[in-house]
Amino acid sequence: MPFTLRNIKGDLDDIGSRFDGAADLEFRAATAARAREQSGLSYQRIPPVRGSGRMKLDDEIVELEEWDAVRVPPGTWRGYEAGPEGLEILVFAAPSEPQRDDVDGQRDWWTDS
Query: What is the model's pTM?
Result: 0.51
Section 65-82 average pLDDT: 81
Section 53-61 average pLDDT: 88
* Sheet order of strands, 78-82 included: 60-64, 53-57, 78-82
Cα(74)–Cα(80) distance, integer angstroms: 17
In the predicted model, is pLDDT for residue 36 greater than 80?
Answer: no
Cα(85)–Cα(40) distance, integer angstroms: 27
DSSP codes joined into one string, the chain: -------HHHHS---GGGSSS-TT-EEEE-TTTTT-SS-EEEEEEE------EEEEETTEEEEE-TT------TT--EEEEE-TT-EEEEEEE--SSPPPS-----SS--S--
Cα(2)–Cα(14) distance, integer angstroms: 26
- 35 touches 3 (CB < 8 A): no
What is the per-residue pLDDT for 107?
60
- Model confidence at 109, in pLDDT bands (50, 70, 90)? low
